[in-house]
A and B are shown apart, each in its own frame.
Chain A
Amino acid sequence: MRAVKRDQKTRIALTLNGRKLAAEAEPRLLLSDFLRHGLGATGTHVGCEHGVCGACTVLVDGVAVRSCLTLAVQAEGREVRTVESLAAPDGALNPLQAAFRDHHALQCGFCTPGILMSFTDFLARTPHPSEAQIREVLSGHLCRCTGYANIVEAIKEVASSSHAPRSEG
């Protein structure tokens, strides 16, 4: 049983984008802040800090979650993936990122990391979604630049391309 006092720091070890890392945190530290300040992975953005905007969405064990509604200590031993994992090591964009660029699906880019991570999870589970399904998942994100139409177009392109293996949609 793990127990950590409020003012005590505990060592949290996790796998971030394939690398095993560890840092110290007190119990109240949010995973979003742990990623950005503890581990230096600033690709994950923080907007509302109460689960509404979706900017902070990351994958924990392959599943898209709000990192601002997860405590860092809860990520112990987990596999965390952030937007930094999407492009190839040489910087080449992956198909989802490339489609966002091609469709002008990002303007300021504040909401983009979270949306990319949500759809990384969703398209892995549902490779050929309907537009209604795409919009339903996108409703978990706020884009202050209101670029939703282009975001939907970008995701539709990836969903209908051969990048995604065909299965039940």
Chain B
Amino acid sequence: MKPRPFDYVQPDTVDEALALLAEHGDEARILAGGQSLIPMLNLRLIEAAVLIDISRIAELDTIRSDGGVLEVGAAVTQNKLLAWPNLARESALLAAGLPLVGHFQTRNKGTVCGSIAHADPSSELPLLLAMYAGEVVLRAQRGTRAVPAKDFHKDMLTTAREPDELIVAVRFPERPRERVAFREIARRHGDFAIIAVAAAAGANGAVTLGVGGMAGRPVTRAVAAHDAASAADAIGQWAEEIKGYDDLHASAAMRRDMFRKLAANVVAEVAQ
């Protein structure tokens, strides 16, 4: 299908974009890569009075590694981040999870920040941000704030962004020498995951486990992983606590089942 009519503006600078957001507020939608937004517009699931296209704002198309933090600007595509030279060494979990985001062809255009802004509960990038305990940098004319991942993602498709705010970047603390695993179950490779599970073990052996697609937003927790039995107990207990939800793709019970199996696998992968 075709989208309903909308006004289109293409600001050249962040300041221009912020002025437009101040003027239009929640009548406006930010267009970056468009790989979530345009399907929804085409299917007429949503409508926008104004699209603010930030994809050509040069200052947003930058990746920086500074003081142990990887900062990814709002116009940076997923494939551009995947090609970042030190990604596998400094941010192994990002390198493991990013190839599962959509397809090669959509990663060429889809942005890192856009996927985080879209806040689909089972999508990979919100889970990755939660695993890194990263933050989202929001800017409006009235000021800039950095919101921690756990406060940014509130619920299904719901974030802490105010209507006049633009996500200018997201920050992932770098974690060299981390052992990581990222697995998901999708109907077909590249489809939205039913659930996605990540694990990371630091030098001291402490294991963090995270899951998307079990709750309205990704959740993470430290798990004791000295032996498989205690890990399985902790995972089983957590599965009952977060419960999962029913939708077209899987029942809550099936999600819990998938989670118990995948989580045990990823914890075993990083624990050795």
Q: Does A30 interact with chain B (Cβ within 8 Å)? A: yes
Given A2-B10, A27-B51, A74-B55, decide whether A51 and B35 contact each other with a Cβ distance below 8 A.
Answer: yes
Who on chain B is nearest to A61 by CB?
Answer: B108
> Which of B4, B10, B43 has the most CB atoms of chain A within a 10 A radius of its CB?
B10
Q: Are A69 and B35 in contact (CB under 8 A)?
A: yes
Who on chain B is nearest to A30 by CB?
Answer: B2
Given A1-B16, A51-B35, A139-B190, decide whether A68 and B42 contact each other with a Cβ distance below 8 A.
Answer: yes
* B-facing residues in A54-83 (Cβ within 8 Å): 54, 57, 63-66, 68-71, 73-74
A63 → chain B, closest Cβ, in Å? 5
* A-facing residues in B98-125 (Cβ within 8 Å): 99, 102-106, 108-109
Q: Are A3 and B9 in contact (CB under 8 A)?
A: yes
Determine which of A2, A6, A33, A74 lies in contact with B6 in the assembled complex, contact meaning CB atoms within 8 Å. A6
Who on chain A is nearest to B103 by CB?
Answer: A140
Q: Are B5 and A28 in contact (CB under 8 A)?
A: yes
Total contacts A to B, CB within 8 angstroms? Answer: 107
Number of interface residues, chain A, beta carbon within 8 A: 34
Given A1-B12, A30-B2, decide whether A51 and B39 contact each other with a Cβ distance below 8 A.
Answer: yes
Q: Does A49 interact with chain B (Cβ within 8 Å)? A: yes
Q: How far is the CA of A49 from the CA of B38 in the complex (A)?
A: 9
Q: Are A64 and B5 in contact (CB under 8 A)?
A: no
Q: Which residues of A sit under 8 angstroms from B12, Cβ to Cβ?
A: 1
Q: Are B189 and A63 in contact (CB under 8 A)?
A: no
Given A50-B39, A51-B39, decide whether A66 and B105 contact each other with a Cβ distance below 8 A.
Answer: yes
Q: Which residues of A sit under 8 angstroms from B188, Cβ to Cβ?
A: 139
Q: Which residues of A sit under 8 angstroms from B103, Cβ to Cβ?
A: 54, 137, 139-140
Q: Which residues of A sit under 8 angstroms from B2, Cβ to Cβ?
A: 28, 30, 33, 49
Q: How far is the CA of A69 from the CA of B190 in the complex (A)?
A: 16
Q: Are A54 and B105 in contact (CB under 8 A)?
A: yes
B262 → chain A, closest Cβ, in Å? 20
Binary interface encoding of chain B residues 6-45 relative to chain A, with 1 for a CB under 8 A from any of its CBs, else 0: 1111111000100000000000000100110011001100
Q: Which residues of B sit under 8 angstroms from A118, Cβ to Cβ?
A: 104-105
Q: Are B42 and A71 in contact (CB under 8 A)?
A: no
Q: How far is the CA of A122 from the CA of B53 in the complex (A)?
A: 27
Q: Are A65 and B189 in contact (CB under 8 A)?
A: no
Who on chain B is nearest to A68 by CB?
Answer: B42
B12 → chain A, closest Cβ, in Å? 6
A72 → chain B, closest Cβ, in Å? 10
> Which of B12, B38, B188 has the most CB atoms of chain A within a 10 A radius of its CB?
B38
Q: Does B3 interact with chain A (Cβ within 8 Å)? A: yes
Q: Does B1 interact with chain A (Cβ within 8 Å)? A: yes
A78 → chain B, closest Cβ, in Å? 10
Determine which of B6, B42, B104 lies in contact with A27 in the assembled complex, contact meaning CB atoms within 8 Å. B6
A117 → chain B, closest Cβ, in Å? 9
Who on chain A is nearest to B3 by CB?
Answer: A28
Q: Which residues of B sit under 8 angstroms from A68, Cβ to Cβ?
A: 38, 42
Q: Does A4 interact with chain B (Cβ within 8 Å)? A: yes
Given A3-B8, A3-B10, A4-B7, decide whether A71 and B38 contact each other with a Cβ distance below 8 A.
Answer: yes
Q: Does A90 interact with chain B (Cβ within 8 Å)? A: no
Q: Are A49 and B108 in contact (CB under 8 A)?
A: no
Given A4-B8, A27-B6, decide whether A57 and B105 contact each other with a Cβ distance below 8 A.
Answer: yes
Q: Identify 27 residue pairs between A and B in the complex whose beta-carbon atoms are under 8 Å apart, listed by A's number.
A: A1-B10, A1-B16, A2-B9, A2-B10, A4-B8, A4-B9, A6-B6, A27-B5, A28-B5, A30-B42, A49-B42, A51-B35, A54-B103, A57-B105, A66-B35, A68-B42, A69-B39, A69-B42, A69-B106, A69-B109, A70-B109, A71-B31, A73-B10, A136-B104, A137-B103, A140-B102, A140-B190
- A-B contact sample (8 more), CB < 8 A, given A50-B43, A65-B109: A1-B11, A3-B10, A6-B5, A27-B5, A27-B8, A54-B105, A139-B189, A140-B104
Interface residues of A (CB under 8 A from B): 1-7, 26-28, 30, 33, 49-51, 54, 57, 63-66, 68-71, 73-74, 118, 121-122, 136-137, 139-140
